[in-house]
Structure 1
Amino acid sequence: MSLHSRREGTNPVIRKAVGYSRYSTDLQNERSIEDQEALIRKYASINDLALDRLYSDAAQSGASILGRDSLLQLLADAKTGAFDVVIVEELDRLSRDMEDLAGIHKRLSFAGVEIMAVHEGVASTVTVGLRGLVGQLFREDNARKIRRGLSGRVSQGLSAGGRAFGYRPHPSEKGRLIIQDDEAEIIRRIFREFSEGRSPIDIAINLTRDGCPMPRSAKAWQSSTIYGWAERRSGILRNDLYAGKIVWNKSKMVKDPETGRRVSRPNPPSDWQTKEAPDLRIIDQDLWERVQVMVEPRQGATQSDRAKMRRPVRPLSGLLRCGSCGGGMSAKGKDKSGRTRIECTRHSLSRSCPAPRTWYLDLVEEAVIGLLRKELDKPDLLKLYVTEYNRARAEFAAANGQRRSKLERRVQQLDSEISRLVQFVTRGIGDTDRIAKEYEARCAELADAKLELSLEPSPLNAVSLHPMAVDGYRKDLMALAPIMGADHSGGSANFAETLRKLIESVTVTERETGQMEVVVTGRLRALIDAPRMSRKTSGGTMVAEEGFEPPTQGL
């Protein structure tokens, strides 16, 4: 029966209506929109309403109106008087939040628009209040039931959801995880290199360079992915799952009423739920405990204490690279003689190295020390090197500065011309069509000039040698051999620290004769003063960034 009375001999007033439908991914599917729209069309026909348009938001929660583009467009169109009625299947399609539903009703009522629900009739203040309350209670109760179900899964040793790097779902047992061997090997590499003193940034760079699979289809490995946050116990190095322990409820998701976005908030440790899962262990207990001490220093620990905990196990830990494929190199273990061997990490992970070789680590260390003492104890060559570098850098900086100045002047000129054209139009001066064409042409030129300027390298600064750098550098070099342990493991605590002041990487390759060749790339940060350089340049070797040093056996 129609909601509008009719009189004999008169034409009924046909009101214009629109429909709105929505479904959320956790409760419904895509056909829900079609089903709701079919009900809306039928309701409009029965009640003599002219259905003008259908709005819909697919896969959107009713917890907030933010992010629901169609609903926001509907509210905007209502202000223009585009329609008289909004038809929905039920009021909770508009919102399951009391505040939002009341606000929608208030705004539509002010615009002279009625809300009609197929199963509830015309919405009033009372029905909106009741349905808003019921909808919000349903949503909150449903969230509690979901969390209770997840808690039960954890208590059974099952996953509570989410894919952790290193695991994949069991093909037949829901909630059961299986270790992914290739990813597990990468996790072991991360723990091993971190325990040896490699920083998360360096580990991330090397993993990306070696083409290792990344979590969640990322484009590159990030140090934050590896190190995480202590408060939330996030990051690969803190993931208890790798030690065979499921820890759930470390955080909760809360929707921000201002933005409608879900934000994560940490729960207190007393709310965490833990379950032992030895079948999911990837990292052995000794390595796990050693890394946890490093990422979670004891309360009151000083910066010096943290540095000691991060000290590398071997002097070249994290510095070795494979000359065949460019990947990192790591310890393979000891042979019967008790000597440590190293191999290409890329080969051990994926067998993708074209010419993998195994080398004795002590021989590599001896070769590196020999090269350092032979090639680097030459202050005059170092001074000459920096002088030549400064000269070439100054020439490049001058040319770079001229190009930048020219482009900056062009950008300023075009910007002024555009401003004058706009003033002509606002004052009614000149031919509007001609000015419009000139304006478009100038805007296009300005966009091109700005793009070209953005592609120009930043202005360069010449570097200078520290007054005491050469003397200190030579002392570090000469101090390496005496402090090296008899077993070639860097017995002195200062050995690896001193070595890292001088070396960026050590590349080990095989000559045609089958002999080992070692190429040392030096780190010049200890020698060169560049206070205004970017973090990227000053934080690492300048060889890779500037290209001024050939990859020879000397530095």
Structure 2
Amino acid sequence: MIWRAVVYCRCSTEEEAQKDALAKQVQEAEECILQKEWMQVDSYVESKSGTTTKGRAEYNRLFDDLLEDKFDIVVVKSQDRLMRNAKDWYLFLDRLVASGKRLYLYIENKFYTPDDALITGIKAILAEEYSSELSKKINNAHKNRQKKGKVFIFPPNTYGLCKISKGRYELVEDEAEAIRLIFQLAKNYGCGTIADILEENEIYDREGKPFEEEAIRRIIRNPIRCGTIVQNKRHWDFQTKRMVQVPKEKWVVHKNAVPACVTEKEWQEANRAMDERAMAGNVKNCKPESSHRGKYILSGKLKCGQCGAVFYRRYRKKYKDDSYIVEWKCSSYLYHGRRAEGCDNIVLNEEKLFDLLQNFQRDSYREGQRDPMDIVEKVMAFIEKVLEKNQDFQKKKRLEEKLCFQKTLSDRLLDKLLYGVITDDIYKIKMEELEESIKKTEEELERLPDEAEVKKMLENRMYVIRQKLESSFVKKAVVSEMLDSIEAIFVFPDHLEIHFYLEKSRKTAVCCVLPDDFVYQKKKAMECIRIEKYMRENPCITAKEIAGLEGVGLSAVNYRIRKLRRQGKICFDGKGGHGKWIVCDDKEGE
């Protein structure tokens, strides 16, 4: 009978030096199988180290295959290659014996037998104790290195910093300016709003993508932005086999360890503002624990006054172009329609709703109110400062300084030639190199726009940014600030009922009447009135022309015309599409 054998090999650590040892271990196991004249049917080779079996894919595959009829013998170098954990060792042996398979330890040149249970159990305990001591030594070495603070290790793609040599870093100025802008905005706005501002001003991360809200939160929370590195905040616990948090008093703090983007005072102010907003948004002295903002600032706030369902945000494509209208609709209507189990409440246009809420905030809501234009001016002043540092006239100044220095070098070379410091050949070679460099610098200077043109470009860009801020961002920011104190906005066909949180767990509700263009029935009635007006002014007008004037689809206009004809308000004098429209009120008047 030919025995079927498999090989299991694992290195003791994940260091590069262990890769050759792993290959040698595989070779030894395969040679052992050849010598024993067994048939090798599979190999389980693992480069991942570990004191437990968690995360070891090849071991777990072997453990599962013990239940299958794939092999008869498992060949390993020694017991500790399988694991250094007594519990896992006995689980493996239990499955090995129950499935009728055998374990061969080629370094000891023997099979495992039940008589070895005591000895192998002691070895497993000793191996586990060795791993525990090794873990303690490694943790202690980490702590000593952290206390000395000579070399700091953190992700190489840390935004705002660039590694120049071992343990030395310098600021990436463009990224540092973006970080300073983030900290300036963090005093007044949340991470989501800051992400919108950065995207609107074309400030992106290192991959050229818009900043995520969580990425901005990490930037603000990390003290490395003010030059401070905090270590030993958590460590791997050998007993529990998981990362554990270290008490704050045991943290290792190194100030001025790396170049700072902001001062410590600015870092503390931004984090304090974030903490205050978190407390206000999550607690508010009386908010229920289930309160949730959602993806959009109105998510979870808008509720139907007729059926109690929440409103969902939806997009609708415009008839005239490829742009979209953002609307909020009752979820009951979206699922069931307007009849039967559905809901016939109004549809809210988001842009008009923000205008309405902003007017309500200005006229009726006074708590913590701030001037929106003051916000715009502060943000504009800071953005202008950032843009000026990146403009072409700054580059022009640097190039002019470079050109001046190159011409100075030319004079110095001539002096060295005259005094006999360098030979004619060396002078000729160096001058050719220098003249080529001067020529490139002059060409680069010629390509740059003049100062007046650069200032005009800056003014145009600042104008676009101001328009965006005044039209959308500030409006949303002001409404967002008010929404922190709002429990819910109940939507009715003709009004909004806004429920506020007050101090000492009190609440109040305020009624806000909707304009005519919000109310569905009034809106459709106004459409009918306008259609009658178009027909009075031009009796030969077509439905397609009316659709163009109204900015809606042709089917919607035809529906309104049929309704008006059924109501007897209009009629058509003619046949086959030739004739004219008659508004019945006008006919009766005649």
- TM-score computed with the length of structure 1 as normaliser: 0.51
Closer/same/farther in 2, CA of residues 117 and 178 from structure 1, 3 Å limit: farther
Residue 5 of structure 2 corresponds to residue 17 of structure 1: yes
Q: 2:229–2:255: 8 Å Cα contact kept in structure 1? A: yes
CA distance in 2, matches of 1:85, 1:213: 54
The alignment status of 1:266 with 2:245, answered yes or no, reads: yes
> In structure 2, the residue corresponding to 1:495 is in which secondary structure?
coil
Unaligned runs of 5+ in 1: 1-12, 228-234, 308-388, 407-458, 484-491, 533-549, 551-555
Deviation at 1:99, TM superposition (A): 1.5
SS in 2 for 1:151: helix
Name the CA shift for 1:76/1:476 in 2 (closer, same or farther; >3 Å).
closer
What's the offset of the Cα at 1:287? 1.2
Q: Deviations over 1:149-186 (max 9, x none)?
A: 22222223245533144334443x3x444444443333
Shift of 1:107: 1.0
User: For residues 183 and 36 of structure 1, do their structure 2 counterparts lie closer, same or farther at Cα, with a shift above 3 Å needed?
Assistant: farther
Alpha-carbon deviation of 1:194?
0.6
Equivalent position SS for 2:45: strand
Q: Does 1:132 align with 2:124?
A: yes
Contact 2:228 2:258 (C-alpha < 8 Å) held by counterparts:
no
Q: How far did 1:269 drift? A: 0.7
Matching residue of 1:236: 219
Q: Distance in 1 between matches of 2:356 and 2:159?
A: 48
Q: How does 1:9-408 map to 2 (within 5 A)?
A: 14-23=2-11, 24-26=13-15, 28-58=17-47, 60-120=48-108, 121-123=110-112, 124-163=116-155, 164-171=158-165, 173=166, 175-195=167-187, 197-207=188-198, 210-214=202-206, 221-227=211-217, 235-253=218-236, 264-297=243-276
CA distance 1:471–1:80, shift in 2 (3 Å): closer
Deviations 1:250-277 (A, max 9, x none): 12345898xxxx8543221122112233
Q: Structure 1 residues 157, 255: CA separation in 2 closer, same or farther (over 3 Å shift)?
A: closer
The residue identity in structure 1 corresponding to 2:7 is G
Which stretch of structure 1 is more off in the superposition, 74-83 or 36-45? 74-83
Classify 1:505/1:404 alpha carbon distance in 2 versus 1 (closer, same or farther; 3 Å).
farther
Question: In 2, Cα distance between the equivalents of 1:170 and 1:510?
Answer: 37
In 2, the alpha carbon distance for the partners of 1:498 and 1:284 equals: 27
Change (3 A) 1:107 1:470: closer
> Offset of 1:303 from its aligned partner?
6.8
For the residues of structure 2 that align with 1:161 and 1:50, how far apart are their CA atoms? 48
The residue type paired with residue 147 of structure 2 is S
The 1:513–1:129 alpha-carbon spacing in structure 2 relative to 1, beyond 3 Å, is closer
Q: Which amino acid aligns with 1:108?
A: L
Structure 2 vs 1, CA of residues 218 and 162 (structure 1 numbering), >3 Å: closer, same or farther?
farther
RMSD of aligned alpha carbons: 5.4
Q: Distance in 2 between matches of 1:274 and 1:191?
A: 22
User: Contact 2:176–2:261 (CA<8 Å) still a contact in 1?
Assistant: yes
The structure with more helix, counted as a fraction of residues = 2
| Distance in 2, Cα, partners of 1:143 & 1:199 | 41
Alignment map for 1:409-424 (pairs within 5 Å): none
Equivalent pair of 1:160/1:248 in contact (CA under 8 Å): no
Cα separation, 2, equivalents of 1:241 and 1:397: 42
Q: Specify the code of the residue in structure 2 equivalent to 1:202.
A: T
**Contact 1:226/1:237 (8 A) holds in 2:** yes
After TM superposition, give the deviation of residue 98 of structure 1 in Å.
2.1
Residues 159 and 177 in structure 1, CA contact (< 8 A), matched pair in contact too: no
Q: Which amino acid aligns with 1:95?
A: M
Distance 2:208 2:247 in 1: 30
Offset at 1:39? 0.7
Q: Deviations over 1:466-521 (max 9, x none)?
A: xx9989855766899xx9xxxxxxxx9733369889xx999999799979575342
* Structure 2 residue 365 is matched with structure 1 residue 496: no
User: Distance between the aligned counterparts of 2:246 and 2:173, measured in 1?
Assistant: 32
Tell me if structure 1 keeps the 8 A contact 2:3–2:39.
yes
Change (3 A) 1:103 1:511: closer
Structure 1 residues 248 and 218, CA gap change in structure 2 (3 angstroms): farther
The Cα of 1:18 is off from its aligned counterpart by 0.8
- Aligned amino acid, residue 105 of structure 1: L
- One-letter code aligned to 1:225: A
Relative to structure 1, the CA distance from residue 32 to residue 203 in structure 2 (aligned partners, 3 Å threshold; closer, same or farther) is farther
Partner amino acid for 1:496?
A: D
Q: Does 1:463 align with 2:453?
A: no
Distance 1:496 1:19 in 2: 74
Cα contact 2:328–2:348 (8 A) shared by 1: no
Q: Are residues 116 and 218 of structure 1, via their aligned partners in 2, closer, same or farther at CA, if it must alter by over 3 Å?
A: farther
Question: How far apart are 1:86 and its partner, in Å?
Answer: 0.6
Deviation at 1:283, TM superposition (A): 1.4
Distance 1:170 1:263, change over 3 A: farther
CA contact (8 A) 2:53 2:88 kept: yes
Equivalent residue letter for 1:521:
S
Residue 112 of structure 1 aligns to a residue whose secondary structure is coil
Paired with 2:22 and 2:100, the residues of 1 have a C-alpha distance of 26
Aligned pair in 2 of structure 1 residues 494, 149: CA closer, same or farther (>3 Å)? same
Amino acid of the structure 1 residue aligned with 2:140 = R
Decide whether aligned partners of structure 1 residues 236 and 22 sit closer, same or farther in structure 2, where only a CA change above 3 A counts: same
Q: Residue by residue, what CA displacement relative to the aligned partner does 1:268-302 show, whole Å, maximum 9, x if unpaired?
A: 11221122335432211331232233234599x86
Indicate the SS of the match to 1:79: coil
Going from structure 1 to structure 2, the CA distance change for 1:402 and 1:138 (only over 3 Å counts) comes to: same
Residues 199-241 of structure 1, C-alpha deviations (whole Å, 9 max, x = no match): 1112234445635225xx79653323333xxxxxxx3222222
Contact 2:229-2:257 within 8 A present in 1 as well: no
Hey, what's the Cα distance between the residues in 2 that align with 1:218 and 1:51? Answer: 51
Q: 1:293 to 1:87 in 2, by over 3 A?
A: same
Query: CA–CA distance in 2 between the matches of 1:182 and 1:110?
Result: 65
SS at match of 1:280: coil
Q: Distance in 2 between matches of 1:183 and 1:146?
A: 36
| Distance of 1:478 and 1:529 partners within structure 2 | 17
What is the alpha-carbon distance in structure 1 between the residues aligned to residue 34 and residue 180 of structure 2? Answer: 66
The amino acid of 1:265's aligned partner reads V
Q: What amino acid maps onto 1:288 in structure 2? A: W
The alignment covers a number of residue pairs equal to: 356
Larger CA deviation: 275-284 vs 90-99? 275-284
How high is the TM-score relative to the length of structure 2? 0.48
Which is greater in Rg?
A: 2
